[in-house]
Copies of this chain bind each other. A is one copy, B any other.
Amino acid sequence: MVRRQLTKPRKAATQERSRATVDALVEATARILVREGFDKASTNRIAEVAGVSVGSLYQYFPGKEALVAAVIERHQQEVMQTVRGELAEALAEPVDKAVRKLVAVAVKAHRVDPRLHRVLAEQVPRVGKLEKVETFNRENYTLFRTYLESHRDELYVGDLDLASFVCVTAIEALTHNAVLHYSGTLSEEMMEALIDEGARLVTGYLRG
């Protein structure tokens, strides 16, 4: 007996219709996360909001975790899309220019979808396969380290690994906190001021 398991396939959308379903599910998950919070995001609710049946949900996703992972991935794609160009530019510049650009890019990245970013940071438990966020940060780290290597003569630092860790951590935390905790009260001028300060912080550190 072949005993095909009806609910196994999970993700293999070939037709147009099914791709729309998958999209709707991911979108619904994101919406619920932002508007209602992580623990309101039950599979039933997601399916409901997506205008799809729970059965269909399980046809493409093995569970809630996978949905959230998909949301994270989609968000990261969007962030990279809007940031990739400027990031590349920055890598060609000398330290002071580059750092300032990096801080500005970090701010921009956090502004792509602040409310989603916030939920992902504050409510989504970092367990199981949801370590994607960390993987993402490790990419930043590696990228930055590479930059430092190729500009070593301009720098006053001993350990490049340590320096990368310090800089990436500081920039990330600064922009993260600024955008996510003062999002309402944050004018453009203040944003500029913050970028200046962040750049000064890191530049000063790198050049001794």
Write the residues of chain A forming the contact surface with B, with a CB cutoff of 8 angstroms: 37-39, 122-123, 125-127, 134, 159, 162-163, 165-166, 169-170, 172-174, 177-178, 181, 193-194, 197-198, 200-202, 204-205, 208
Contacts and interface: CB of A to CB of B under 8 A. Distances in A.
21 contacts: A37-B127, A38-B125, A122-B125, A123-B125, A123-B126, A123-B127, A125-B125, A134-B181, A159-B193, A162-B193, A162-B194, A162-B197, A169-B177, A173-B173, A197-B205, A200-B205, A201-B201, A201-B204, A204-B205, A204-B208, A205-B205
Nearest to A175: B169
B166 A198 contact: yes
Nearest to A163: B197
A103 B38 CA distance: 34
Contacts of A197: 162-163, 166, 205
A203 to B, nearest CB: 9
Given A39-B125, A205-B204, A173 B169 contact: yes
Contact of A201 (B39, B122, B166): B166
Contacts of A194: 162
A161 to B, nearest CB: 10
A37 to B, nearest CB: 6
Given A127-B123, A169-B177, A173-B169, A201 B205 contact: yes
Contact of A170 (B38, B126, B173, B193): B173
A102 to B, nearest CB: 15
A170 to B, nearest CB: 5
A173 to B, nearest CB: 3
Nearest to A178: B165
A125 B120 CA distance: 10
A194 B165 CA distance: 10
A205 B208 CA distance: 10
Given A37-B127, A126-B122, A170-B201, A165 B177 contact: yes
